[in-house]
């Protein structure tokens, strides 16, 4: 169930987590991030316009647009209909996983403990989101999980920034991290695509 999401995690060191309030921001924001070297984009379903933003961003060449904060089967169906190539969830439920499997929407499901990670592994999810990364134990936690569960690849998200991303990316069980720092609210509001382009370039160079 994981080969597509695994390949996504190898495209760039950072998956931007986007909270977009304004449909008009969709295209220039996606262009800045893709041009900066971050092709995989997670549009969170936390704003009323999120589905329209996914639809718009999907037109940007070179981008791979998915939906984040996918919590229910309905979210997954709507995201797929809007053109999302993948889904991301802070956790996982049987209903959500079942729905994504049924409609063929690859999902990066969240886990924060060994038992959650094992339950996902049993179902074939070898690529998982580790959330909320910083408060759930951070890089030290992921390092500890890599000993008994080396077959799971994680995308940690939650509290990650340019400053601590390297601590995660240096781990053998981390291919990329997720974070909102490359598209902060103030820059989005100001429409400062130039600065977001710079942040994306800096993030693309992380290792
Ligand atoms: C997520 O949805 O994965 C997180 O809200 C992103 O976390 P951050 O805003 O701390 O980067």
The pTM assigned to this predicted structure is 0.97
CB neighbour list of residue 172: distance below 8 Å, 6 or more residues apart? 146, 150
Over residues 156-164, mean pLDDT: 98
CB 155 within 8 A of CB 15: yes
Delimit the domains of the chain by residue range.
3-200
Q: Output phi, psi for 6, to 5 deg.
A: -65, -45
pLDDT, mean of residues 34-58? 98
Which residues have CB under 6 Å of ligand 1? 17, 44, 68-69, 131, 157-160, 178-181
Under CATH, which architecture does the 3-200 domain have?
A: Alpha-Beta Barrel (3.20)
**Which residue is catalytic, options 6, 42, 74, 163?**
42
pLDDT at 186 over 80: yes
Which atom of ligand 1 lies closest to the CA of 180?
Answer: 11
């Amino acid at each position: 169930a994981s080969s597509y999401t695994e390949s996504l995690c190898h495209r760039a060191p950072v998956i931007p987590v986007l909270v977009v309030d304004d449909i008009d921001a969709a295209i220039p924001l996606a262009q800045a991030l893709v041009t900066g070297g971050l092709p995989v984009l997670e549009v969170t379903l936390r704003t009323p316009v999120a589905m329209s933003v996914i639809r718009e961003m999907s037109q940007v060449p070179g981008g791979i647009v998915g939906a984040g904060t996918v919590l229910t089967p309905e979210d997954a169906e709507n995201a797929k209909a809007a053109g999302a190539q993948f889904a991301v969830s802070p956790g996982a439920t049987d209903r959500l996983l079942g729905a994504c499997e049924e409609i063929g929407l690859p999902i990066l499901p969240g886990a924060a403990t060994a038992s959650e990670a094992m339950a996902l592994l049993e179902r074939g999810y070898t690529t998982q989101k580790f959330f909320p990364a910083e408060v759930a134990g951070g890089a030290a936690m992921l390092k500890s999980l890599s000993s008994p569960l080396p077959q799971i690849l994680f995308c940690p998200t939650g509290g990650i920034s340019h400053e601590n991303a390297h601590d995660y990316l240096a781990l053998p069980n981390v291919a990329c991290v997720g974070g909102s720092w490359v598209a902060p609210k103030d820059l989005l509001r100001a429409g400062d695509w130039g600065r977001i382009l710079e942040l994306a370039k800096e993030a693309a160079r992380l290792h």
